[in-house]
Structures are given as structure tokens and as C-alpha cells.
Amino acid sequence: MATSFAAAIRDGLATALAADDDVICFGLGTDDPKGVFGTTLDLHKQFGPDRVFDMPTSEAAMTGFAIGAALNGMRPVLTHQRLDFALLSLDQLVNNAAKWRFMFGGKRGVPITIRMIIGRGWGQGPTHSQSLQSWFAHIPGLKVVMPTTAEDAKTLLLGAIFDDDPVIFLEHRWLHNMKGEVPAGDVREPLGKARVVRSGDAVTIVAMSYMTVEALHAVDHLAAQGIACDLIDLRSIRPLDWPTVITSVQKTGRLLALDSGHLTGGVAGEIVARIATDHFASLKSAPQRLAAPDVPEATSPALTKNYHVRAEHIADAVGRMLGRDVETASLVAQRTFPHDVPGTWFSGPF
């Protein structure tokens, strides 16, 4: 039976809590009736308030508590309902959790998992919409995971919880209602392995999180026009699966990197730079990237009509790289819903 991305997160948390008594789960709203968009729903009833609990609104204190608990043998899972809120805890995260293994001779890490929810649109303004994965990926000692499918949401979350170093787990809220098959039981996916979603020889498209969904629409649309692309879902930003990306670029000779974050200093820019620096001879054309513009997202939908990277932009970029005319009008015509939501089915979470 198909399971939603949000239910898969809850399944992963329940599986971890059942597998190891040292796993605890907390954060603002963790035990409330909505359970952080359904991802922690009723877990406090199943595992008790000593292991699943709410916390006062103090992000730095929550993170410090998690670090202390981890250093005393626990495996904390801390949830922030927006990435933007977690920025108040960067001192604890960057100066303590991330550096611990390095500062103490590699003898031990800080096994905490910090869930942060990202995503744009639907009136989410500058303080509720940022995708700052490149910030966290820049910090040595932090691992950064961005699942796309429901299956990966569960298996990568389990991989993160039982990893011995701090992991930032980024969930795009446009994915929370999307469904897919999810394996039962304690199935842990190792961090740092990308997935090849579609295979082709025209262009390598590298994506992550919700950008993979838009890329999938574009790649299937291009395939109907005789253009077959490799589509790689990174799943993990740090460590990044460079061998899979490099192997694909050596096959296609072209690279289009997508990013749900801003253009300047983003993950897409790092991918383009690494390929251009180390594998220039493999390229048939200049590598390209698509990302959010370098301005905050406005709250008003009227001001965001050209803000989001959608499938037609990806298809058009592939066409330009190949020097071919690509039809995108029918892609746009299929969209009968507002420009700032993923589909007619989307009704939140807010």
C-alpha cells in the first residue's frame, strides 16, 4: 500500500524508537494533535512522554540539550518546523556538534539528527521558505540529507538516526503528501549514495528533494521528443556521491545542476565548479545550473510568478544546451493550479 512521505517519516521514527531505547524525539509541537504535519503523530502515546516530548521555544537550548544527551549515550532526533527557526541554534550546531569528532581526535562524534522542514510557495514569505542546504554542507562535520521519495524518507531517516555523527535532515513540505511504496521494518539506507532515476545519453541532470520531481516531469516530457537524459537524485548533499555524477557526465558530456536554494554559493554551483575543474575534457558544452533567484521569496503570490524553477524551465535549458527547439507549451498548459503549489492535491501543511 502506498504511504505518504509524512507517514514514512513517522514510520521511520517509530521504527528507530522501537529498535533502540536510547532514541528520543523532541521539538516544538512534537506531541501536539497535528504532530508536526503528521510526522510525529501520537508517538508520545506509543513510546511515552519521556522519549517523545515537546520543548519550550528556544532553538539554541534544544540543540544544546540534544548535544548533551548524545554525548551521554542517547540518539536524539530534534525537529524544527521550519529551517528558518533553526538558524537561532547555529552556534551550538556549528561550534559544538559539527567539530566534536575533529577536536577530540576522532574518538567520538555527536549522533544527533536534526529535522528541518523547507519549502516555498502558498504564501510562505521570507521567514518561512529558505532552502539553506549549502550552508550546512559547507560545515565540515555535518552531514546533509534531502530525500525525495517516501521510501527514502524512511530509510534515510533511519540511516541518519543510527549514524554516529550529526546529520541535518531536510524535508520539503511539498513532498509531505506525496505517496510511494515504503519497505516495512528496520531498513537503514547508508548516507551518501545517489539514485539514478532516469537513464539517457543527452544531458546529465542532477537534482535533490522536490527539484527531482520537477526534473522528472521535464525528463519524461523530453523523452517524448526523442531526448533521453540521465536524472540523478542526490539524496545526500554531504557526503555527495561524486562517482555517480562523474560517471554520468562522462557518458553524456553535458551537465545541468538544479538547486532548491539560491543561485549564488549554492550546491548546484559547487557541482558545476567541481565538474568544470576536474572533468573539463569530458564536457561537450558549458555546464549549466538552475536555482532560486538571489532574493528572498515574497509572501504575495503576485510577486512570485517567476520565482520557482519548474519543469518547463528545465526542459528549455536542456534544449538550449543541445541547440534544439524543445516544446514546453504543453507542459505549462497541463498546470491547472496556481504557480506556487506543486499540484491540485496540495492543501498544506502550511
Query: Annotated catalytic sites, by residue?
Result: 59, 128
CB 191 within 8 A of CB 165: no
Nearest one of 89, 28, 94 to 60, comparing CA atoms: 89
Kindly list the distances between the CA atom of residue 253 and the CA atoms of 135, 201, 249, 285, in Å, as whole numbers in the listed order. 29, 8, 5, 7
Kindly list the distances between the CA atom of residue 34 and the CA atoms of 29, 43, 64, 81, in Å, as whole numbers in the listed order. 8, 11, 25, 12
What gap in Å lies between CA 176 and CA 245, rounded to an integer?
27
CA atoms within 13 A on the CB side of 350: 3
What gap in Å lies between CA 80 and CA 192, rounded to an integer?
23
Q: DSSP label at 61? A: H
- Strands across the sheet containing 288-292: 195-198, 230-233, 204-207, 255-262, 288-292
